[in-house]
Chain A
Amino acid sequence: AQKVTQAQTEISVVEKEDVTLDCVYETRDTTYYLFWYKQPPSGELVFLIRRNSFDEQNEISGRYSWNFQKSTSSFNFTITASQVVDSAVYFCALSNNAGNMLTFGGGTRLMVKP
């Protein structure tokens, strides 16, 4: 069985602060895929990143960066210089080898105050 845990249910920061959202996962698959999605107040799910289990290279995209550590089964997400528009619920998710379904973590609500 697969499981994704986002221990932080809610984080509040002031604009321009850096913030890291934690994600820990469990799976028996040797090949799997990890994702981050953003859900703004409007409700849609916005795809941010996909990472496969064989690629532990960290990735940076603008103010976003991701740290994948297979040894600790973690896939953390950092936003640097946060902005009010970053306020949303962020979900970490895991798919199996076949990629047929996503298992989501409980989500972290990020509030960025001006």
Chain B
Amino acid sequence: AAGVIQSPRHLIKEKRETATLKCYPIPRHDTVYWYQQGPGQDPQFLISFYEKMQSDKGSIPDRFSAQQFSDYHSELNMSSLELGDSALYFCASSLQGAFGEQYFGPGTRLTVT
């Protein structure tokens, strides 16, 4: 069965650079979620989209923005990167109304040096 695809899987950036993470949800899933997991931490919800509209917002810094496109894929744009942004970024997808049954991608490991 098709799963959530995230690219790239690993990314190394320097401070103050920008990064774009991509997420391709499971086919027919209309909702996408982004989570950030710092080293040794639990995943923290950043933002979610349903039918290309932002549906919920969590602890996403103002330096980050995200959107969902007409083909339902989503991109997380991160600017002015800081060392503390180094983390594993997960994308998850679901069908609206599936009440939290989110399927997670493998994650993108971002390292900021």
**Judging by beta carbons under 8 Å apart, are A35 and B100 in contact?**
yes
**Judging by beta carbons under 8 Å apart, are B43 and A45 in contact?**
yes
The size bracket of the interface on B is 20 to 34
Residue B33 CB within 8 A of the other chain: yes
Please choose the segment from B12-20, B62-70, B77-85, B103-111 that sits at the chain A interface, where 4 or more of its residues have CB less than 8 A away.
B103-111
Tell me the complex Cα distance, A35–B100, Å.
9
Number of A interface residues in the complex (CB < 8 A):
23
The distance from the CB of B97 to the nearest CB of chain A, in whole angstroms, is 8
Per the 8 Å Cβ criterion, residues 22-77 of A in contact with B are: 33, 35, 37, 43-47, 50, 52
Among candidates B33, B42, B94, B105, residue contacting A91 with C-beta atoms closer than 8 Å:
B42
Residue B101 CB within 8 A of the other chain: yes
Q: Given the interface contacts A45-B90, A50-B101, does A100 sit within 8 Å of B43 by beta carbon? A: no
A-B contact pairs, 18 of them (CB 8 A): A43-B107, A44-B106, A45-B43, A45-B90, A47-B101, A47-B102, A50-B101, A91-B42, A93-B100, A95-B100, A98-B56, A99-B97, A99-B100, A100-B55, A101-B33, A101-B58, A102-B102, A104-B42
Tell me the complex Cα distance, A45–B97, Å.
21
Q: Given the interface contacts A45-B43, A104-B43, does A99 sit within 8 Å of B103 by beta carbon? A: no
Tell me the complex Cα distance, A51–B55, Å.
23
**Judging by beta carbons under 8 Å apart, are B45 and A101 in contact?**
yes
Contacts of A33 in B (CB 8 A): 99-100
Residue B1 CB within 8 A of the other chain: no
